Structure 1
Amino acid sequence: MGDDGTARLLGAADVRVLAERLGLRPTKKLGQNFVHDGNTVRRIVKAAGVGADDVVLEVGPGLGSLTLALLPAVARVHAVEIDPVLAGLLPSTVAERAPEQAGRLTVTGADAMRVTAAELAADAGPGQTAPTAIVANLPYNVAVPVLLHLLAELPGIERGLVMVQAEVADRLAARPGSKEYGAPSAKLAWYADARRAGPVPRAVFWPVPGVDSGLLAFTRQDPPAGADRAATFAVIEAAFAQRRKALRGALAGWAGSAAAAETALRAAGVDPMTRAERLDVHTFARIGAARL
């Protein structure tokens, strides 16, 4: 622990020592780029707006840089780590650097794209609160499916802050009518309102990534009233698969024909010659309902 009772955060030298001890070679396959800058992880925790009542789900904790910054600020951290070596190391790193808070950590060794609420609850133990927030440096190659899966699987998640590739953050936060708006933006809007929360310099990572990074903040919101998620997402996927086409043509395969697509669009109050990037999630939901 530090002199002020906070956890001793990991610096660049600490990260390299831990990696060498494990014989760790970060892999692109698992999207492993470890943060080694204390100011960055403190900034993430502050920007996330989490507090003493929150149970934070952290995906891909790696060597524990962000975990150590989170533990003093929240009730519990539940870390999900796919790499068994890293999952095994994390509790000992926390016990060494934040012994007073080691009891607040739960680690689940699992793939975050497939982990279930039941698995997390079993590992947390009886009587523990389900996660209320996500704060994570997400593996960049699977950031979108991981985030969408967790929001679907864990309805108690109220808000979050995730670090992702900068262009992915732009896409997820995009609004209808912008060039970045697409299927990821529309699907995320089913669950949450998202916004960009600032850039992250490449130099705070080891190894240094070949892409820029950014923070994405989100707050849970209600989905379109009475809508079916699977039906809505099917429309979104079909519409953006051919985003240059007018919806009458883009949705022909989904509806069975261009004429059937036009019928559904008109029933939903949508001009058949509109393109996908003009529509919000509520409109996609109406189109999906019009075909049911």
Structure 2
Amino acid sequence: MKRAPLFILGTILLVLFAVGAVQVYANKKAEEKVEELFERFGLEEKSTYREVNYSLLSGTVEVSGLNLVTDEGSSHIDRLVIKKLTDTDIEVYAFGMRGEDKDFRKLEEQLRALGYDDVRMNTYVSLSLYEDTKELLVRKVGVEVPGAFRTEVSFKLTGIDREFINDLKGLEGEGDDREKVARIANRLKRVYLNELSLKLTDPGFMNRLLEKEARDKKKSVEELKRDILRGIENSIAEDSSEFEKTLVEGVSRLIEHGGTLVLEARPREPVSFENLVLYTLMALQTRDFSHFVKELNLKVKYQEV
């Protein structure tokens, strides 16, 4: 009977040791992931953070109080979440970004003028490279200022492999730029667009902008909206395509009510990058986008908030 307390004590010590060992492993794993991320962007000697945590169950790394220093200036991120970070899979979220560079300062100044007092940005990226099928699937790349706007893009390309990505990275190195560009241009001939989606979400930015514009012009917001919508409607001819009419209707509803405007390209057959450039140049030259819209099978959708 006297051995029972010793057994219980030994068990407790063993559990505490195991928990401590797991915690040490988790912290080491988290720091390795963060260092790997910094190294990829050349920030290993210019970054600091307050705390890092690693979840053994999900494999997620969470960094708090991250400070980055680049040639453009310093940036702060309240919380960085790394769910995947390998050569073929990336899923990273950054919350509460603030910057000292001139571009962020300009954006901050513009948003403050519209009544956004605490301007912080969230960004995220999720993508996978499938080497066996040479597919690059970008599930989402987005930027948002909570309460103001969110933009997001997703697409799928075929003809992309590790060699192609290495060639793109090589453009930043030393050597004959003409040779590098020629090699990239040749490889782009084998890259195809399978699908593309662009999203713009407005949870209140346009309304604040209209309120400010209305005050400056000494008009009511409703009166200003009517003027803008009337101008948009008058820009569409009677023989306009269905796509143009749907686009104008979507833009009008976005201005009037906020919400999300989605532009989708789902070509019936994958479109080569070479043809994509050609269609774009032809449309810009002739100002006739009908062929461009047809070949990419472009659709516009409006979604309410």
Question: Shared fold by TM > 0.5?
Answer: no
Q: What TM-score do you get using the length of structure 2 for normalisation?
A: 0.27
More strand by share: 2
Larger Rg: 2
